[in-house]
Amino acid sequence: MFASFPVPGSRRSFLQASLATLGVAVLPQAVATEAYDVSPWAGPVAAFQLVDTTGKVWRPADFKGRAVLLNFWASWCEPCRAEMPSLQQAAALHGADKLLVLAINFKEKPASALQFAQQAGITLPVLLDVDGQSARQWDVRIFPTTLTLDRRGQPKHRVRGELDWAGPAASKLIASLL
């Protein structure tokens, strides 16, 4: 279920209060720390080739035998920036031989993606979707969005929004992939 609720004092609560004064219906307020939606992802896993910031070319054949998180993000996206350290933690917790986490940067200059990763201490492979073709191919319209593949390469979940990938909800998702 989509867990998007305004936090008192947040930009969301301000906007909802403003809309309410204009007579626009708004959702009741509740407190939440995350806003994400998990739905089935039936794929297919389209063939693609993406280059990472080191020049390595990545293809779906490189994923065999490992669960995969394909995380679409951009450095201008605050929830993406907030989520990235927990993706790094999940990758470290499970190890690259079991869980491959690929951070797919959406339509930014390679230098911008690399600069963010370096400043944030991110060591995950950062792939470059320079023209947005991969995001379009998989109908990614919300950032961050993470697509999951099980260890057999089968598509499983579409996670839209910010999720704590080191938390209990994500642990259940990841366990279903391993």
26/41 same-domain check = no
Question: ∠ at Cα 59 (57, 65), nearest 5°?
Answer: 125
Owning domain of residue 122: 36-175
C-alpha to C-alpha distance for 124 and 72, rounded to whole angstroms: 13
C-alpha to C-alpha distance for 106 and 90, rounded to whole angstroms: 21
Domains identified in the chain, total number:
2
**Which helix (H) or strand (E) element contains residue 101?**
strand 99-106
User: Per the structure block, which two tokens stand in for 157?
Assistant: 């979940």
28/45 same-domain check = no
Residue 157 forms beta bridges with which residues? 40
Per-position pLDDT tens, the chain of length 178:
333 334 344 444 444 444 344 443 333 333 345 689 999 988 777 788 999 999 999 998 888 899 999 999 999 999 999 999 999 999 999 999 999 999 999 999 999 999 999 999 999 999 999 999 999 999 999 999 999 999 999 999 999 999 999 999 999 999 999 9
86/14 same-domain check = no
17/42 same-domain check = no
What SS3 state is found at 15? helix
Please give the DSSP secondary-structure letter assigned to residue 7. Answer: P
1/84 same-domain check = no
119/147 same-domain check = yes
Please give the DSSP secondary-structure letter assigned to residue 166. Answer: T
pTM, to two decimals: 0.80
88/168 same-domain check = yes
116/41 same-domain check = yes
Q: What CATH number corresponds to the domain at position 114?
A: 3.40.30.10
164/119 same-domain check = yes
